[in-house]
Chain A
Amino acid sequence: MASELAIRARGLSKHFGELKAVSKLDLEVPRGEIYGFLGPNGSGKSTTIRMLCGLLTPTHGTADVLGTHVPDEAASLKPRIGYMTQKFSLFGDLTVAENLKFIAEIYSYPSEQRRARIEELLDTYDLQRQRKQFAGTMSGGQKQRLALACAVLHSPELLLLDEPTSAVDPQSRRDFWANLFLLAESGTTIMVSTHYMDEAERCHRLAILDRGVKVADGTPMQLQADTGMHVIEVLTENTSAAQDVLQRHDNVASVTQLGIRLRVLIPVKTDAPQAVVEQALRSAGIDATVTASSPSLEDVFVAVTMDAAERDA
């Protein structure tokens, strides 16, 4: 059912000269969901979002966004999408209220309802006290709320957010996500790129990008179930020695240190993974508590990007 998809992309690629920023990306984003794009810097998240809103022309492949073909039909798409750039892109020398008014005029928002809509947004995004402040002088969190208010002013069907929380504190991030859930509940499809695991975990569905390639997608739970890895947690005082030993072990795929804990990924084909780890540490004379754990999204991320590295090699 195509109409239930907000975005459908097939083989979407973007090359900048030799660099393949995005390679053969297939995407299906259902309407009304929050769809996450997880990946490190340079993994092609921004490039993909820019292709989806018609700012960049794909080198290969096609994309249908809200039933319109981009980039050639991008003009008719603009009034129906909202876009929040990675860098704050509103006018620093205009006040909060002036910025909102400008955006309302640009989107030809009905003039008789304009004032009411701006007041509503100032309330929703907690900007009433800043209404006469110049946007350039606001804090990161305030700027981000203003940017979101401007992006949703014309009630778009699809909201594209490019790393919206990269410059704000944890509390602002929580508030921001609360707002996103409200928007999703009211039927807005949201595509958001991030490099924070906790944010990715909040999405209904997500895709993990690594160097321009989609290495996994699905709901967070699916992804966690499908890692293909056992997760063993090691609690020890001698973390660096333990890490050394485990990293050299044939059955161990990766070791990540979290304080005095080590998270060890072992492919599912290995039997009794906990015993393998215990055995390895004991023979190295390292005292440790070993427990089995379940994969977190971070483990998923480590596992899938590791696969990609092996595939490249």
Chain B
Amino acid sequence: MKRFSRLNAIIKKEVLQLRRDKLTFGMVFGLPLIQILLFGYAINTDVRNIKAAVANQAGSHLSREFVADLGATQVVRLVANAGSAAELEALLRRGEVSIGVLIPPDFDRRVADKNRAAVHLLVDGSDPTILGVANQLRAMPLRFDSAPPKEQREDLIEVRPYYNPERRTPVNIVPGLMGVILMMTMMLFTAVAIVRERERGNLELLINTPVSSAELMIGKVIPYVGIGLLQLAIILGFGQLLFDVPVRGSIVDLYLAGIAFIAAKLALGLLLSTAAQTQFQAMQMTIFILLPSILLSGFMFPFDGMPVFAQYIGEVLPTTHFIRLTRGIMLREAALGEMTTDLWYLIGFTAVAMTIAALRFSKRLD
């Protein structure tokens, strides 16, 4: 009974302080909103309108038709004409275009010849996404309406994008974004919330009362579970409203996965707070974990495409597992029960981090 009363006192106090802290309160709601708008509208991995220049040395009817087809894809935007390969190279070097299309004089003959490339694409390889676009162009089917070649080249491989047939970026980004936003706010808020009390001297008073370490930690963390779930709802709501991001699986499963992830991140925040002496240090440590979580969790780049070493790091990060869960539940209609490995990892991570944090946090000053 006493235990409950003390825990309750800590929770009530934390909520009261949270409501009065305008900046934190703003971050709770503002951060998900800004991020979702930013990532949803501004970031588009489905690249279009890359600037290109053409050097058409063939000048034939067929080659002009090819250039028109190229423009029609909207993948590239033809902004300049050049006379030679050297001119194309100069345009590339100056950064005026990212792709140079070189059509040799014997274009018509080359089209008919299976063994020779008909067109050269000079690509600015300093940006990997543009290289990807060029590869996309390679697969462009050439249909010459006026003079169909005897032998239509068939693509060997046909791509059918499951779960996101329109290949819309937000559908892919939003589930991952939930992980990134929750990670950022949960970890930072808890780490700072405890370190702030240490800095202000509140902790010295608290550890001299009958409050136990566990009551203190759990009491401080519980309000943030509520905030995390609220943020989850905000991201889901706006994802659906603005970008039509679906939740194909069970919403209950999604929230259960959310609770597991929030718990993992709060435990990590507590652990950081036992190591940091100042709020600034807590912030630095958060950023130290933040960057790999964004880069190596599969949020930005496909997990399987990363070097094995980076994959190991990624596997350690709770965000990786949560993003797998959200993408599975929201897009692939997977049930939580089918993805138990990731769920168990989150639960295990929480238990370990929480134990270390509780052991490190003593009610003494030395």
A55-B364, A55-B365, A79-B210 known; A105+B201 contact, CB < 8 A: no
- The complex places the Cα of A74 from the Cα of B209 at a distance, in Å, of 10
In the assembled complex, the Cα of A271 lies from the Cα of B13 at a distance in Å of 67
Is the CB of B129 closer than 8 A to any CB of chain A? no
Q: Choose from B10, B201, B205, B366 the contact partner of A56 (Cβ within 8 Å).
A: B366
Q: Is B115 an interface residue (CB 8 A)?
A: no
In this assembly, does B116 line the interface, its C-beta being within 8 Å of a C-beta of chain A? no
Assembled-state Cα–Cα distance A83/B206 (Å) = 10
Assess whether B205 is in contact with A85, with CB atoms less than 8 Å apart: yes
Say whether A89 faces chain B, with CB atoms less than 8 Å apart: yes
Specify which chain B residues have a CB less than 8 angstroms from the CB of A56 in the assembled complex. Answer: 364-366
B16 adjacent to A94 (CB under 8 Å): yes
CA distance A132 to B305 in the complex (A): 59
Chain B residue nearest to A51 (CB atoms) is: B366
Contacts of A107 in B (CB 8 A): 209-210
Tell me the complex Cα distance, A183–B22, Å. 40
A-contacting 9-mer, from B1-9, B246-254, B343-351: B1-9
**Which B residues are in CB contact (< 8 Å) with A55?**
204, 207-208, 363-366
Known contacts A89-B200, A93-B20; A78 and B365 CB within 8 A of each other: no
Contact B201 A57 (CB under 8 A): no
Name the residue of chain B whose CB is nearest to the CB of A103: B209
Contacts of A85 in B (CB 8 A): 201, 204-205
Interface centre among B12, B17, B366 (most CB of A within 10 A): B366
Residues in chain B near residue A53, CB distance under 8 A: 208
- Nearest chain B residue, comparing its CB with the CB of A76: B210
Task: Give the nearest-CB partner of B19 in chain A.
Answer: A93
Encoded as 1 (CB less than 8 Å from any B CB) or 0, chain A from 97 to 120 comes to: 010001101111001000000000
Give bound CA distance, A57 to B365, whole Å.
9
Across-interface contacts of A103 in B (CB, < 8 A): 209
> For residue B16, which residues in chain A have a CB less than 8 angstroms away from its CB?
94, 98
**Smallest distance from the beta carbon of A92 to chain B beta carbons, Å?**
7
A50 touches B210 (CB 8 A): no
Q: Which residues 76-99 of B have a CB within 8 angstroms of A? A: none
Interface size class of A (residues with CB under 8 A): 20 to 34
A90 within 8 A of B: yes
Q: Is the CB of A71 within 8 A of B364?
A: yes
Q: Is the CB of B210 within 8 A of A78?
A: yes
**B17 contact from A75, A91, A106, Cβ within 8 A:** A91
Question: Residues of A contacting B363 with CB < 8 Å?
Answer: 54-55, 74
Q: Which residue of B lies closest to A90 (CB)?
A: B205
CA–CA, A230 to B331, complex, Å?
Answer: 92
Q: Which of A50, A57, A71, A105 contacts B6 (CB 8 A)?
A: A105
1/0 per residue, CB under 8 A from A, across B247-271: the answer is 0000000000000000000000000
User: Which residues of A sit under 8 angstroms from B208, Cβ to Cβ?
Assistant: 53, 55, 78, 81, 83
Q: Is B211 an interface residue (CB 8 A)?
A: yes
Task: List, in ascending order, chain A residues with CB within 8 A of B209's CB.
Answer: 78, 103, 106-107
Would you give the shortest CB distance from A162 to chain B, in whole angstroms? Answer: 10
Question: Which B residues are CB-close (under 8 A) to A79?
Answer: 210
CA distance A53 to B212 in the complex (A): 15
Across the interface, which residues of A come within 8 angstroms of B277, CB to CB? none
Tell me if B145 is interfacial: C-beta within 8 Å of chain A: no
Question: Across the interface, which residues of A come within 8 angstroms of B204, CB to CB?
Answer: 55, 85, 87, 89
User: Are A92 and B2 CB-contacts (below 8 A) given A53-B208, A54-B364, A71-B364?
Assistant: no
Partner of B200 from A50, A75, A92, A111 at Cβ < 8 Å: A92
Contact with B along A249-276 (1 / 0, CB 8 A): 0000000000000000000000000000
Q: Using Cβ atoms and an 8 Å threshold, which residues of chain A touch B1?
A: 108
> In the complex, are the beta carbons of A90 and B202 less than 8 A apart?
yes
User: Contacts A78-B209, A106-B6, A108-B6 given: A91-B364 contact, CB under 8 Å?
Assistant: no
Which of B9, B17, B207, B365 is the one whose CB lies under 8 Å from A105?
B9
Question: B8–A105 contact, CB under 8 A?
Answer: yes
Instruction: Establish whether residues B205 and A83, one from each chain, have CB atoms under 8 Å apart when the complex forms.
Output: yes
B127 interface contact, C-beta 8 A = no
Q: Name the A residues within 8 Å of B158 (CB-CB).
A: none
Contacts of A102 in B (CB 8 A): 9, 12-13
Closest beta carbon of chain A to B26's beta carbon, Å: 16
- Whose C-beta in chain A lies nearest to the C-beta of B3? A108
Q: List 7 A-B contacts (CB under 8 A).
A: A53-B208, A54-B363, A55-B204, A75-B210, A78-B208, A85-B205, A106-B10
**Supplied contacts A105-B12, A106-B206, A108-B6, 19 more A-B pairs, CB within 8 Å:** A54-B364, A55-B207, A55-B363, A56-B365, A56-B366, A75-B210, A78-B210, A81-B208, A83-B208, A89-B200, A89-B204, A90-B202, A91-B13, A91-B17, A93-B21, A102-B9, A102-B12, A107-B209, A108-B2
> Sorted from nearest, which 6 A-B pairs have the closest CB atoms?
A105-B9, A89-B205, A89-B201, A108-B2, A83-B208, A87-B201
